[in-house]
Amino acid sequence: MAAKQHRMTRQRRIILETVKGLKTHPTADEVFGLVRKKLPRISLGTVYRNLELLTEQGIIQKLDTAGQQKRFDGDISPHSHVKCVKCGKIDDLYFELPKPSAAWAGQTRFKILEYKVELLGICPDCQKKMEQN
Amino acid sequence: MAAKQHRMTRQRRIILETVKGLKTHPTADEVFGLVRKKLPRISLGTVYRNLELLTEQGIIQKLDTAGQQKRFDGDISPHSHVKCVKCGKIDDLYFELPKPSAAWAGQTRFKILEYKVELLGICPDCQKKMEQN
DNA sequence: CTATGTGCAAACTATTTGCCGTCTG
DNA sequence: CAGACGGCAAATAGTTTGCACATAG
């Protein structure tokens, strides 16, 4: 039952600093690209392993907003996200969540753990692209 | 600009009937398995192509609730979903969405198209499995 | 010291696509 | 009978993993 001992390796520290230092919501590949500037020999596998580990530890979060690539967020304070339906980019929204209603839970035999508001939209860049047509 | 002409092939019809006939939210692979009972020679590629096409036409919907496999839903009436965090299974919830607040949109330059409530939970089967430990 | 972590490459999973023969409208 | 479609297999994209060596504590 003893929690596994984790070491703060150079790779792990830099991955963490990188994700925490971003205002964006990078994919594993984007993190890889940035971290490689400081550690040219790091491997993509290491990035994946560490993003996963840091997520398990609750130090960063993995966004569950589908798409083909997963995105990560260094900001673990409670907030919601809007996702661009065109390019998948994500923006933050901070607001009080509407109260969950007991009526919701009554409809399902699932045990509800948490809920959040998911928004879909179009980011400024993609809006521009659309106007140009 | 002319919309492409789509044909109702046997494959497309059976895929559609299958998805519409289910109360579940099948993955492409599950649809493939079911359809193959009626059309043993159908290919997985065809299933993917048709699920995509039917989704574009708005006849079925593709669920955006992350995970590794995408799920489809023959029910296109407005409703929300709970996803099991253990096995990815999905259940339906029908309720009035809380009104979007103007304050939300003011925080982002994204143009908001739609929003929905996403719930996470544990399905009855997984609850059982957990009790057995 | 020693178990955890890394780099590398291969494996895997889900999905997409090119090609060419088939079939719908 | 033309163009949309399907079967097949190969290609792709994203992520995971086995292994042997490196290194944090």
CATH number of the domain within which B41 lies = 1.10.10.10
Residue A96, domain member (yes or no): yes
Has residue B4 been placed in a domain?
no
Domain shared by A15 and A65, yes or no:
yes
As for how many domains chain B has, the answer is 2
Does A14 fall in a domain? yes
- Do residues A77 and B79 make contact, with C-beta atoms less than 8 angstroms apart? no
Contact in structure between A82 and A93 (CB atoms under 8 Å): yes
Q: Are both A62 and A102 inside the same structural domain?
A: no
- Domain extent, residue B105, equals 80-132
Give the span between the Cα atoms of B96 and B86, in whole angstroms. 27
Same domain? A34 vs A49 = yes
- CA B42 vs CA A96, B27, B38, B47, B48: distances in Å: 49, 16, 9, 8, 11
On whether both A84 and A66 belong to a single domain, the answer is no
**Of B31, B49, B73, which residue constitutes the final position of a domain?**
B73
Q: Hey, are the CB atoms on B108 and A94 less than 8 Å from each other? A: no
Task: Name which of A99, A66, A121, A120 is nearest B95 in CA terms.
Answer: A99
Residue A56, number of CB atoms within 10 A of its CB: 11
Residue nearest to nucleotide C22 (CA to C1'): B9
Domain boundary among B54, B73, B92: B73
Kindly report, residue by residue over A19-72, the tens digit of the pLDDT: 999 999 999 999 999 999 999 999 999 999 999 999 999 999 998 766 788 999
B69 lies in the same domain as B24? yes
Do residue A21 and residue A56 come from a single domain? Answer: yes
Q: Would A1 be classed as within a structural domain?
A: no
H/E segment holding residue B48: helix B44-56
Show the tokens assigned to A4: 């596994």
Nucleotide nearest to B9 (CA to C1'): C24
Q: Best residue in B97, B99, B110, B115 to probe A by mutation, most A CBs within 10 Å?
A: B110
Q: How is B101-131 classified by DSSP, letter by letter?
A: PHHHHHT-SSEEEEEEEEEEEE-HHHHHHHH
Residues 61-90 of B with CB under 7 A from strand D: none
**Whole-number Cα distances in Å, A58 to A22, A62, A72, B85:** 17, 9, 12, 16
Asked if residue B5 is part of any domain, the answer here is no
Question: Do B22 and B43 share a domain, yes or no?
Answer: yes
The rounded mean pLDDT for chain A is 88
> How far A26 CA lies from chain B's nearest CA (Å)?
16
- Strand-pair category, B61-63 with B71-73: antiparallel
Q: What is the CATH number of the domain that holds B91?
A: 3.30.1490.190
User: Which residue, of B33, B53, B73, is where some domain finishes?
Assistant: B73
| A95 assigned to some structural domain | yes
Is residue B1 a part of any domain in this protein?
Answer: no
Asked if residue B3 belongs to a domain, the reply is: no
* Same domain as A38, residue A20: yes
| Surface of A (88-117) touching B: CB under 8 A | 91-95, 98, 101, 103-104, 107-117
The residues facing A121 across adjacent strands are: A84, B112
Cα radius of gyration (chain A): 18
Helix, strand, coil tally for chain B in percent (to 5): 35, 20, 40
What residues have CB less than 8 Å from B4, skipping those under 6 apart?
Answer: none
Instruction: Looking at the structure, tell me whether residues A21 and A36 fall in a common domain.
Output: yes
| Cα distance between residue A112 and residue B119, in whole Å | 7
* Per-position pLDDT tens, chain B of length 133: 556 689 999 999 999 999 999 999 999 999 999 999 999 999 999 999 999 999 999 999 998 766 788 999 999 988 888 888 888 888 998 877 666 667 777 888 999 888 777 788 899 988 887 777 6
pLDDT of residue A80: 84
- Note the pTM of the prediction, 2 decimals: 0.86
* Beta strand ranges found along chain A (DSSP E): 61-63, 71-73, 80-84, 90-93, 111-122
Angle at A84 between CA A52 and CA B84, to 5 degrees: 45
Nearest-angstrom CA–CA distance, A87 and A92: 16
